Structure 1
Amino acid sequence: MEALRLEWADGVPKLSVTAAMARRELVTTVTSPVGTAAVVGWAGSARDRVAGARGLLDAFARPGAAPHLPDGDYAAVLVCRDRVLLLRDEQARVPLFFRASGGRVSAVGTSARHLSGGAELERRYFCRYLTGYLAQPHWELTPFSGVCRVLGGEVVELSTTGQIRGRVRRRARQASEPTAQAADDPGGAARVLRRALENAVARRLGGTTACHVSGGTDSTSVALLAARLLAAGDGPGDLVLLAGRFRTGELAGEQPYLDEAMEEIRRHAPAARLVGVEADDVSDFDDFEHHAEDADEPHAHAFRAPFWSRLHAAASGLGCDVLMTGCGADPVVDANPLYLHKLARTGQLRQMTAQARAWAQGGERGLRDVVAANVVRPTLPLATERVTAALNRRGTVLGGLGGFARPRWLRRGFARAHGYRGASLAEARFVFGRRPEESLYDAANYIAAPDPLSWRRARQDGFLLSHPFLDPEVITAVRRLPAEAMFRPGRPKAVLREAMADLLPDGVRGRTAKIPFDQLYARGLHRHGDDLIDLCRSARHPLITEMFDVETLCQAVREARLGTGDAYSWDRLNSTLALVAWLEGLGRHPLPHDVAVPVSVDS
């Protein structure tokens, strides 16, 4: 989807924005003596987007300036007197691309497809994509040759004629250093987290703010903080509490927790509107081809789009301009099991064994499983996957398939010719890195970014999803907390529960497990398994048969339908099916022609 466009005519930059996005205040433009800025999303504060855009322009327009990136969910183009800057926030919520050749940029926009101009498909990208769903946001490659991605936290500097001068990665501002007594003070870590999370929620409050509430600790915490901030008079604004309701099946077990959470939130904000979206009839893979084909790039989570689309539509109907979720809390605020890897590599084997034993007892797992997952696998990820696949395959396509190894339906020749092994190594290094206990937070962020469904629907909905737990301030604060301050055997997210102890209702605060969405996935495969197999067999795009052994892929769908495999293998299958549908839709759906509004760049 195109939100802004920058092109050059006779060597002069010409900036335009999409009229519909500007009307919904999803694109903000400001002009000052130093230049012009077009900001998609928001920088600084969701409520005051003009001030955020102006602050971004003032901070980066000075020659030689190298400021920290402001908080927010944004992509921006700054056209100054002597240069042009392209930048995105560190979390990379809003996409931004440029078309380049010979070191010169000819166009910039938020849609890779719009910039492609019928360019040849980039086969290396598809190998990268197929290594795992974390691949897209942190790789420069796009599906189209000659179209490059501005990376999260990157500032690309161009001359006024489009010549690339430099590309620099910048960090967001850092949270204040927590006290050294956080490990010894039982409440120290909780206070650090509470302060950072309150700030993150406050930055995201809009005119009408929606909070997705599921009855879990994470989403309830975000909604409670939003309710309390609004009740305390932190600016005008309305609150909408959005929930998917399941009356039957295993997900109906979430209803008592959801009711308790809603009641407590309403106690702080009596005027909050409760919107329950009936979801008993929804399943994964409903209208799959539509959700997968319309994306700008292959959308690995397109199978789950039907549920989220229903919630988005309800929030949009009420005029919400922000929708906050609890996404990201699981890895960010829970004790980090990859800390065991640090103990092992620094020679603290006795302490590592004691900690691993506590992890095993708390999670009802074997000691060997804990060490294998958090010490051995991060050290040798590809070798571990090969061994696991060899031991667990047992004649199935999905058995033993992990996050990096080549799935059997991807043709060996294609993988070898277009760098699949190198892509697997790059993905493994990103997920685990030299210090896996730190890489966990970066990987967690990219699970939620750039959220293609939220982006594709933004023009009609008027908002983008926003995730306070993945705010740079929250992540920085948690990273600086000592591991012993976060670890409570058998008590997941103990620090979050302590941080929110005065707000969370007893039932929500005391629960340690949440019912997963496996029911929606199983029901979706049962309903649509034959359609998915037909999609693969009837596909006509030549790259599909070049990449995939279609019958092996169909066998994988049948196995998943029977319950074979695990979360890793299902992710690989879902990503592949989304790619098949996306390729089929390339020539089937013409690009929309949005009304473009020129923006003056005269200083």
Structure 2
Amino acid sequence: MEALRVEFATGAPRLWTAGDMVRRGLVTTVSSPAGTAAVVGWAGPVRDRLAGARALLDAFARPGCEPPLPAGDFAAVLVYRDRVLLMRDRQARIPLFFRESGGRVSAVSTSARGLGSAAELEPRYFCRYSTGNLAQPHTELSPFAGVHRVLGGEVVALSATGWMRGRTRRADDPPAPVADGCAPARELRRALEHAVGRRLGRTVACHVSGGTDSTSVALLAARLLAVEPGGTGDLVLLGGRFDRGELAGERPYLDEAMAAVRRQAPGARPVIVDADDVADFDDFLHHAGDADEPHAHAFRAPFWSRLHAAAAELGCDTLLTGCGAEPVVDANPFQLHALARSGQLREMTRQARIRAAASGQGVRDVVRTHVVEPALPLAAERVARLVHRGTVLGGLGPFTRPPWLRRGFARAHGYRAAGAAESRFVFGRTPEQSLYDAANYLAAPDPLSWRCARQNGFFLSHPFLDPEVVATMRRAPAEATFRPGRPKALLREAMADLLPPGIRDRTAKIPFNEPYVRGLRSHGDELIDLCRSARHPLTAEMFDIDTLCQAVREARLGMGDSRSWDRMNGSLALVVWLEGLLDGRAPAPGAAVPVSVAS
């Protein structure tokens, strides 16, 4: 989707924005004597997008200054008299790309497809994509040759005529010191309230599933809106209801969560969407084929798009989720790795035994998962593949080459280096720190939100992935976060006065497996036929189609695990995406509005 575009064809930057997105408040443009800024999303509080865009323009107005990037979900282009700056927030929610050749940028856009040529693809990107679900947002490569991604937290400086001047990454701010006597739970509550408050718009929708995470966000949004003078915000509670199957067991928790939020904000409007007939892979050709770049989670788009459409009908301008809480506010399992790395083997063993007893695992399993595998991720996966010989999906983790990716293609285009880079990103030198960076991309992949923003009128936003919340959890001591048998103990303590008892005390949630199983049973033959009939030449060059089809058959039988299924789902989405290039199924662009650049 092209929300903004900059071209340097005439020697000076020319800026366009999507008119309908400007009217909906999704794109904000401001000008001053210093220059012009176009901000997609929001920098600073959602409700004051204009002030946030002005502050961003003013902060970078002086050449050579390197101010910190503000909180928010945004991509921005700042056009000054002597230079152009491209930037994204550290969480990298909004995409931004540039087309470059010989050190000169010819165009900038939020759409990689809008800048690239379907006849000139970048094979290295497809190797990196095939390593797993985290690859896309943190690699510079795009699917198209010569088109590069502005990375999260990065500022790209160009001359006024498009020549590259430099690229810098803004490091995360160091965690602020904890106030004396301030309990970790109180710190988390304050950080989460700030994160939710920054994301409140005029009409706010909150996902409510009946879990601790989404209910906490909705309760804080309701509480903050209730104390506003004059009640300046409306609240919509958005939930998907299943009346059949195992997910029907979530219905009582959904009802309890809705009732608790409405006690805080009686005017909140519950919107319950019937989802019994939704299955993963419904309309897969549309959800995977029309994306700007391959969308590994396109298989789950039918459920989310139905919920988001309901929010759009009510005119919501922000939609908050509970995504990210699982890895961010739960006890960090890689603390075991830190203990082993520092030689505290006795303490590591003691904590591993406690974790094993709480989770029903063996001590060896806990140590292997949280100590050995992070230290030797590629070797651990190769051993697992040897142990699980005989099936396509058995032992397939997030890094090693999936058996359907042809060895020759992988060797020619750097799959080994891509797998190593991905493992370093996920675990890094200190896995207990890398967990939060990886969680940002794993917990909330929302290309669907981006692709549908023009018609829906909002972007998704995730308070648990706010930098302040992540920094708060990074400095929380392990003894405060780890309570055996009580996941997310610190969040439960922080929200104890608001969470209803049934949700506060539950320790397990029904997994979202049923729509996936139903989708594979309903569409498995279609997916196999789709692979066998694929026309794009790169599909046959990359994939052994028979092996990929065998993976689909095994998944239908319940073989493999969630990680191996994710690898298969991503490859299927790539097959459909390449077919979309042949058919020219790019989304119709909105009307472009030229923006006068201050001079």
Equivalent residue, structure 2, for 1:246? 242
Deviation track 1:371-408 (CA, whole Å, cap 9, x = no partner) reads 00000000000100011111123x11111111111111
Equivalent residue, structure 2, for 1:142? 142
Equivalent residue, structure 2, for 1:68? 68
| Alpha-carbon distance, 1:60 to partner | 1.1
Equivalent residue, structure 2, for 1:421? 416
- Find the aligned partners of 1:557 and 1:163 in 2 and give their Cα distance: 47
- Find the aligned partners of 1:340 and 1:200 in 2 and give their Cα distance: 29
| Alpha-carbon distance, 1:482 to partner | 1.6
| Alpha-carbon distance, 1:448 to partner | 4.3
CA gap 1:590/1:293 in 2 versus in 1, 3 angstroms:
closer
Query: Helix, strand or coil for the counterpart of 1:211?
Result: strand
Matches within 5 A, 1:456-495: 456-495=451-490
**Cα pair 1:121 1:144 within 8 Å, conserved:** yes
Equivalent residue, structure 2, for 1:568? 563
- Find the aligned partners of 2:489 and 2:227 in 1 and give their Cα distance: 27
- Find the aligned partners of 1:366 and 1:232 in 2 and give their Cα distance: 49
Equivalent residue, structure 2, for 1:35? 35
Equivalent residue, structure 1, for 2:348? 352
- Find the aligned partners of 1:32 and 1:306 in 2 and give their Cα distance: 43
Matches within 5 A, 1:251-270: 251-270=247-266
1:25 aligned partner, one-letter code: G
Matches within 5 A, 1:202-217: 202-217=197-212
| Alpha-carbon distance, 1:175 to partner | 5.4
Deviation track 1:219-277 (CA, whole Å, cap 9, x = no partner) reads 00000000000001176110000000000100000010111111010001000000000
Task: Please tell me whether residue 126 in structure 1 is matched to residue 121 in structure 2.
Answer: no
1:90 aligned partner, one-letter code: R
Equivalent residue, structure 1, for 2:363? 367
Equivalent residue, structure 2, for 1:59? 59
| Alpha-carbon distance, 1:179 to partner | 3.6
| Alpha-carbon distance, 1:178 to partner | 1.5
1:242 aligned partner, one-letter code: L
Task: Please tell me whether residue 556 in structure 1 is matched to residue 551 in structure 2.
Answer: yes
**Cα pair 1:335 1:483 within 8 Å, conserved:** yes
- Find the aligned partners of 1:365 and 1:432 in 2 and give their Cα distance: 22
Query: Helix, strand or coil for the counterpart of 1:241?
Result: strand
**Cα pair 1:218 1:329 within 8 Å, conserved:** yes
Equivalent residue, structure 2, for 1:109? 109
- Find the aligned partners of 2:537 and 2:443 in 1 and give their Cα distance: 31
CA gap 1:27/1:448 in 2 versus in 1, 3 angstroms:
farther
- Find the aligned partners of 1:208 and 1:119 in 2 and give their Cα distance: 43
2:106 aligned partner, one-letter code: S
**Cα pair 1:241 1:273 within 8 Å, conserved:** yes
Query: Helix, strand or coil for the counterpart of 2:13?
Result: strand
Query: Helix, strand or coil for the counterpart of 1:12?
Result: coil
Matches within 5 A, 1:508-523: 508-523=503-518
Equivalent residue, structure 1, for 2:436? 441
Unaligned runs of 5+ in 2: none
Matches within 5 A, 1:88-487: 88-118=88-118, 120-171=120-171, 176-179=176-179, 188-233=183-228, 236-393=232-389, 395-448=390-443, 451-487=446-482
Q: Normalising to structure 2: TM-score of the pair?
A: 0.98
Aligned residues: CA RMSD: 1.1
- Find the aligned partners of 2:534 and 2:69 in 1 and give their Cα distance: 44
1:325 aligned partner, one-letter code: T
CA gap 1:211/1:148 in 2 versus in 1, 3 angstroms:
same
| Alpha-carbon distance, 1:174 to partner | 5.5
| Alpha-carbon distance, 1:64 to partner | 1.6
CA gap 1:496/1:220 in 2 versus in 1, 3 angstroms:
same
- Find the aligned partners of 1:171 and 1:198 in 2 and give their Cα distance: 24
| Alpha-carbon distance, 1:602 to partner | 2.2
- Find the aligned partners of 1:420 and 1:176 in 2 and give their Cα distance: 39
Q: Normalising to structure 1: TM-score of the pair?
A: 0.98
- Find the aligned partners of 2:247 and 2:103 in 1 and give their Cα distance: 53
1:478 aligned partner, one-letter code: M
- Find the aligned partners of 2:535 and 2:9 in 1 and give their Cα distance: 39
1:155 aligned partner, one-letter code: V
1:64 aligned partner, one-letter code: G
- Find the aligned partners of 2:55 and 2:193 in 1 and give their Cα distance: 22
**Cα pair 2:92 2:153 within 8 Å, conserved:** yes
Deviation track 1:59-78 (CA, whole Å, cap 9, x = no partner) reads 11111211111000000000
Deviation track 1:560-602 (CA, whole Å, cap 9, x = no partner) reads 0000000110010000000000001112134424211000102
**Cα pair 1:137 1:450 within 8 Å, conserved:** no
Task: Please tell me whether residue 531 in structure 1 is matched to residue 537 in structure 2.
Answer: no
CA gap 1:300/1:27 in 2 versus in 1, 3 angstroms:
same
1:194 aligned partner, one-letter code: R
Query: Helix, strand or coil for the counterpart of 2:157?
Result: strand
| Alpha-carbon distance, 1:103 to partner | 0.7
- Find the aligned partners of 1:166 and 1:309 in 2 and give their Cα distance: 39
| Alpha-carbon distance, 1:118 to partner | 4.2
Percent identity, aligned pairs only?
73
- Find the aligned partners of 2:417 and 2:9 in 1 and give their Cα distance: 39
- Find the aligned partners of 2:444 and 2:5 in 1 and give their Cα distance: 22
Unaligned runs of 5+ in 1: 183-187
| Alpha-carbon distance, 1:449 to partner | 5.2
Q: Which of 444-453 and 508-517 deviates more? A: 444-453
Deviation track 1:39-67 (CA, whole Å, cap 9, x = no partner) reads 00001011111001001101111112111
- Find the aligned partners of 1:232 and 1:163 in 2 and give their Cα distance: 50
Query: Helix, strand or coil for the counterpart of 2:322?
Result: coil
Q: Which of 449-458 and 168-177 deviates more? A: 168-177
- Find the aligned partners of 1:124 and 1:449 in 2 and give their Cα distance: 24
Deviation track 1:428-461 (CA, whole Å, cap 9, x = no partner) reads 0000000000000000001245511000000000
Deviation track 1:138-191 (CA, whole Å, cap 9, x = no partner) reads 000000000000000000001101111110011465553214666xxxxx1100
Query: Helix, strand or coil for the counterpart of 1:358?
Result: helix
- Find the aligned partners of 1:543 and 1:129 in 2 and give their Cα distance: 14
Query: Helix, strand or coil for the counterpart of 2:156?
Result: strand
- Find the aligned partners of 1:110 and 1:580 in 2 and give their Cα distance: 23
**Cα pair 1:216 1:257 within 8 Å, conserved:** yes
CA gap 1:44/1:174 in 2 versus in 1, 3 angstroms:
farther
**Cα pair 1:69 1:172 within 8 Å, conserved:** no
Deviation track 1:334-369 (CA, whole Å, cap 9, x = no partner) reads 000001000001000000000111110111111000
Equivalent residue, structure 2, for 1:185? none
| Alpha-carbon distance, 1:483 to partner | 1.6
